[in-house]
Amino acid sequence: MTIPKIGLGTAPIVDVDWAGLVATALGLGYTHVDTAQMYDNEAAVGQGLRMSGHPDDVFLTTKIHQDRFRDGTALESAQTSVEKLGRVPDLMLVHWPPRGVETEAVIDTMLEVQAAGLTRSIGVSNFNRPQLRAAAAKAPIATNQVEFHVLIDQSALHEEARALGIPLTAYMPVARGKAFDPPEVGQIAARHGITPAQVVLRWIVQQGVIAIPLSTKVENLKANLAVLDLSLEPEDMDALTAVATRENTRFCSRPDWDPVWDAE
Ligand SMILES: NC(=O)c1ccc[n+]([C@@H]2O[C@H](COP(=O)([O-])OP(=O)(O)OC[C@H]3O[C@@H](n4cnc5c(N)ncnc54)[C@H](OP(=O)(O)O)[C@@H]3O)[C@@H](O)[C@H]2O)c1
């Protein structure tokens, strides 16, 4: 199953009519929507899918809260997600590596969720390299969804994922706007006559990484989808990779959830 290279993120960082936004994005040609139990908007996302008139033609991802693997309710929670969404998702992820639960046991549970018909495929999110290797040794992993943008160096994780044949999905792909700040981004945008957002998103997808930007504005939704038709030159790609190496800043971090990010 191929995951469309651009999806709509729905993390509730802003107060939004999620059903309306999902329906709008699908009307603009989006074919991929990302949600999570934690976002508390699965029902609204499901409503948006139905409002679009073609709820099943969309690659739909949701994520099981990591605590459900600790309290033994992952399967029931997945059932609840399916009820809220109104359809079986294409992909369910483990939202963060559950503390104190072996990766093998986590993936066994995900395989039970899949066997119960509650998702078409399984994946992970925020897994470090050893956790990703352990997961891949147990089952086909459709993606590892991680923070990935032009201000963080994810080259080691990306190399590992490539070797395992697992595509990365970039969350916070525009770093909530901070990715537009480096001067190189503006220079490349000006040279190509495109926006800074398009530069940083194109840098991601041109590396074979899936990106799920959130936007509440039609103009930005359109611009983000249009990066599929753009192209950056190798020297632009290298310049942006150098920015990521230089800046190397992680914005999404929770001390009680973070794995050892750079574990080898
Ligand atoms: N797995 C995880 O642990 C995890 C963690 C964080 C996020 N995620 C997922 O990743 C998705 C994306 O991350 P995010 O929402 O945190 O951050 P993001 O997509 O990097 O940033 C969203 C912000 O960027 C702005 N933006 C988007 N496109 C733009 C454009 N073309 N021009 C100007 N501004 C633009 C949006 O403003 P406007 O509305 O004004 O366009 C919005 O405020 C989430 O929604 C969620 O689905 C997953």
Quote the CA–CA distance of 222 and 226 in Å, as a whole number: 6
First to last CA, the chain: 29
Candidate from 215, 224, 251, 253 with most ligand 1 atoms within 8 A of CB, to mutate: 215
Question: Would you place residue 149 in the very low, low, confident or very high pLDDT band (cuts 50, 70, 90)?
Answer: very high
25 lines ligand 1 (CB under 6 A): no
Report the pLDDT value the prediction gives residue 77, as an integer from 0 to 100.
Answer: 98
Quote the CA–CA distance of 196 and 77 in Å, as a whole number: 39
User: How many angstroms does the Cα of residue 149 sit away from the middle of ligand 1?
Assistant: 11
The number of helices, as runs of H, and strands, as runs of E, in the chain is 11, 7
63 pLDDT higher than 80: yes
* Residue among 181, 177, 174 nearest 204 (CA): 174
Residue nearest to atom 23 of ligand 1 (CA): 176
Tokens of 70: 């600790």
* Beta-bridge partner residues of 170: 146, 211
- In this structure, are residues 168 and 143 in contact, taking their beta carbons and an 8 Å threshold? yes
* Residue among 200, 170, 168 nearest 182 (CA): 200
172 lines ligand 1 (CB under 6 A): yes
Mean pLDDT across 28-51:
98
Question: Would you place residue 206 in the very low, low, confident or very high pLDDT band (cuts 50, 70, 90)?
Answer: very high
Could you read off the pLDDT of 217-263 as tens digits, one per residue? 999 999 999 999 999 999 999 999 999 999 999 999 999 999 999 99
User: How many angstroms does the Cα of residue 211 sit away from the middle of ligand 1?
Assistant: 10
Report the pLDDT value the prediction gives residue 248, as an integer from 0 to 100.
Answer: 98
Could you read off the pLDDT of 64-122 as tens digits, one per residue? 999 999 999 999 999 999 999 999 999 999 999 999 999 999 999 999 999 999 999 99
- DSSP code, position 214: -
Report the pLDDT value the prediction gives residue 37, as an integer from 0 to 100.
Answer: 98
178 lines ligand 1 (CB under 6 A): no
Question: Would you place residue 14 in the very low, low, confident or very high pLDDT band (cuts 50, 70, 90)?
Answer: confident
- In this structure, are residues 176 and 9 in contact, taking their beta carbons and an 8 Å threshold? no
Mean pLDDT across 1-28:
95
Residue nearest to atom 17 of ligand 1 (CA): 172
Q: Measured on CA atoms in the order 45, 48, 52, 56, is the torsion positive or negative?
A: positive
Which phi and psi angles does 254 have, rounded to 5°? -130, 110
Let me know if 117 is exposed, middle or buried by CB neighbors in 10 A (0-12, 13-18, 19+).
Answer: exposed
Specify the ligand 1 atom closest to the Cα of 34: 47
User: How many angstroms does the Cα of residue 212 sit away from the middle of ligand 1?
Assistant: 7
4 pLDDT higher than 90: yes
CATH fold, domain 18-175+207-226, is TIM Barrel (3.20.20)
Candidate from 34, 171, 181 with most ligand 1 atoms within 8 A of CB, to mutate: 171
39 lines ligand 1 (CB under 6 A): no
Report the pLDDT value the prediction gives residue 188, as an integer from 0 to 100.
Answer: 98
215 lines ligand 1 (CB under 6 A): yes
On average, the pLDDT of the chain sits at 98
Residue nearest to atom 27 of ligand 1 (CA): 215
User: How many angstroms does the Cα of residue 206 sit away from the middle of ligand 1?
Assistant: 19
Considering the chain, what percentage of its residues have pLDDT values greater than 70? Answer: 100
Specify the ligand 1 atom closest to the Cα of 219: 31
Could you read off the pLDDT of 123-132 as tens digits, one per residue? 999 999 999 9
Report the pLDDT value the prediction gives residue 1, as an integer from 0 to 100.
Answer: 73
Q: Which residues are tagged catalytic?
A: 39
Residue nearest to atom 8 of ligand 1 (CA): 171
Report the pLDDT value the prediction gives residue 128, as an integer from 0 to 100.
Answer: 98
Report the pLDDT value the prediction gives residue 66, as an integer from 0 to 100.
Answer: 98
The pTM is what?
0.98
User: How many angstroms does the Cα of residue 249 sit away from the middle of ligand 1?
Assistant: 16
Provide the residue type at 186 as one letter.
G
Report the pLDDT value the prediction gives residue 94, as an integer from 0 to 100.
Answer: 98
